A = this chain, B = another copy of it.
Amino acid sequence: MTEPTSPHPSAQALHHAMSGLAGPLSAGAGTAPDYTAVPRPAAGEEPSVLILGAGVGGLTAAYELGRLGHRCTVLEPQPRTGGRNRTARRGDKLYELDGEGNSPVLTHTCAFDHGLYLNLGPGRIPHHHRRVLKYCTELGVALEPYIMETTANVLHRAGHTPPGRPWRNRRVANDTRGHLAALLSATLTGRDAFTGQLRDLLRKFGDLDEEGEYHGSTRSGYAEPLDVHEFPSPAPPLGLADLVVSEFWKHRFYQPVDHLWQATMFQPVGGMDRIVHALTERITTEYGVTVELGAEVTSVDLTGAGVRVGYRSGGQERTTTADYCVSNIPLPVLKQLELTGFSPEFGNAVTAVGFAPTCKVGWQANRRFWEDDRNQIFGGISFTDHPITQFWYPSHDYFSKTGTLTGAYNFGDNARDMGKRTPVERLGLARDGAVQLHREFLEKTTVPQDLGVSIAWHKVPHQLGGWADWDPADPAHQVAYKQLLQPEGDGRFYVVGDQASPLPGWQEGAMMSAQYVVAQILGLLPRTAPDTVQVPDAVFLTQGL
């Protein structure tokens, strides 16, 4: 067995081998490092690694270490790899824990038509999540654009938007811009050149008239559809008072402006789980990694020379050992395990942060009514203050006959409340919300009730939430995050996943974390985190947008 505190080969040699590479050592664009420059361990001296959990973080660690010749075994309690990266298709069974949080209960058997699918977890990849894009390229996972926002999307705000007639995104966005620009323009009294230029900028920014006033813009759409005699003309703008009083911006309207969701975004052709399928296939067929499904870890013991892991598989209690252990287990699940030989600081860190409640609802629609002449919606998200919060349109198979819609994506109390309901009640609630946006949801032949699915991630066995609910304002979280970046047991036990990254809830975070831990195991990075490390911000994801 290799001595873990003196990694093989020497850290110095590896540092040298890696120099000049855009890997985790570099402040470069943060893509997958080229570990091929790292010397392979000699035959018979390959370190053994136990990876707990086949989520994206665990699979990435197995990919990198397996490629380097480490002997990796992945233990995964579920009958599939991917963790929260899950795509629902016909026949898929969804389970959640019962009211007491104990036994898994079947909530839905997905009944979508063949060929239809819906991403239940991550659904999009920013163009600056270079690790995800790089792995997709390496693995041959085809990508297509994910449309985050189209100006045809709508906004519903109870008591403010007319019943059954939500506001179009283009009106809210551009009428607001116009009004704000006009307000500012009216305050500019200077006659100098700079003020003149600023006034000109405002005219273009807000589509103001020559006097710097806003009286509506075709940016908000045309009053009438064009024809040979019918020219583009603006509808009367939404009033500034109506816009302000509606507080539309409190319902994630400006989320697409945030860097994380800026165009261009991508999605794998055929479903997000193409990534985990490709990873799983590559590591098992080419890198000699063993993936044991249905293997539920119950204990980790660091008191011996290596790492000793106890798990349940095929109704039996088993144990196995390795030189290293990489845990991709969500912290709320990890804290339920029997952990021996860990520092008290680590124990505190594991319990410091909870996982966030979040739900999604999926519908099959037998007619893509949202793309028709009246709606003209191709992708993007409609936002509402109804508990469903978000309503996603598919960014694929445009102009085809049928499709799937994400009928809810919510957080906090809305997610907690929805999670408490029965599957049938959830779909009822989701339909109520959808009707505010699209009257077509009244037609159950168009959107059949028995083809809906729902998932409350905080009730899903082995997951217990959407992401680590890191709060930069919580002093305990400062200590905990730093602690999780440092291995336990003299460099034998590591935590990976988006939970241990600045990107909670994002696959990029999971991959980043895996690369970091792999570099630590290889001795390419120190095994202590800097004192100044910040805390990830998950509050922003649910309340800041």
A133 within 8 A of B: yes
Are B376 and A29 neighbours in the complex by a CB distance under 8 Å? yes
- From A126, which residue of chain B is reached at the shortest CB distance? B376
**Which residues from B are CB-within-8-Å of A380?**
263-264
Give CA–CA (A22, B225) in the complex, Å.
Answer: 11
Q: Which of B28, B136, B204 contacts A249 (CB 8 A)?
A: B204
- Measured between beta carbons, the chain B residues less than 8 angstroms from A508 are 226
A508 CB to closest chain B CB, in angstroms?
8
Asked if A152 and B264 sit within 8 Å, CB to CB, the answer is yes
Given contacts A30-B225, A145-B379, A263-B263, 19 further A-B contacts (CB under 8 A): A27-B230, A30-B373, A127-B150, A127-B377, A130-B373, A147-B264, A152-B264, A180-B181, A183-B187, A184-B184, A194-B245, A197-B244, A200-B249, A218-B258, A219-B258, A228-B502, A228-B513, A231-B534, A264-B378
Q: Is A151 part of the binding interface, using a Cβ–Cβ cutoff of 8 Å?
A: yes
Instruction: Please give me the residue from chain B that is nearest to A184 by CB atom.
Output: B184
Whether A176 sits at the interface, judged by CB under 8 Å, is yes
Contact present for A232 and B204 (CB under 8 Å):
no
Interface string of A498-521 (1 = CB under 8 A from B): 001111000010001100100000
The 9 closest A-B pairs by CB, nearest first: A29-B373, A264-B378, A30-B225, A151-B262, A204-B249, A184-B184, A228-B516, A150-B264, A231-B534
> How many A residues have CB within 8 A of the partner chain?
90
Among A477-517, those with CB < 8 Å from B are 485, 500-503, 508, 512-513, 516
In chain B, what residue has the closest Cβ to A519? B228
A-B contact pairs, 13 of them (CB 8 A): A28-B225, A136-B399, A144-B145, A151-B262, A151-B263, A180-B181, A180-B205, A198-B244, A201-B249, A204-B249, A219-B262, A226-B502, A231-B534
Is A133 a contact of B218 with CB atoms below 8 Å? no
Contact B229 A530 (CB under 8 A): yes
Instruction: Note all chain B residues with C-beta closer than 8 A to A377.
Output: 127
Which of chain A's residues 187-235 have a Cβ closer than 8 Å to chain B?
187, 194, 197-198, 200-202, 204-205, 218-222, 224-232
In the assembled complex, which residues on chain B have CB atoms less than 8 Å from the CB atom of A513? 228
CA of A27 to CA of B218, assembled, Å: 17
Contact with B along A113-134 (1 / 0, CB 8 A): 0000000000000011010010
Our pick among B24, B219, B228, B376 for the contact of A127 (Cβ within 8 Å) is B376
User: Which of A150, A183, A263 gathers most chain B CB within 10 Å?
Assistant: A263
**Closest chain B residue to A224 by CB distance?**
B27
Verify if A533 is at the interface (C-beta below 8 Å from B). Answer: yes
Q: Complex formed: what's the CA distance from A194 to B247 in Å?
A: 10
B residues in contact with A24, CB < 8 Å: 227-228
Q: Please indicate the chain B residues that have their CB under 8 angstroms from the CB of A231 in the complex.
A: 502, 534, 536
The answer to whether the Cβ of A103 comes within 8 Å of any Cβ in the partner chain is: no
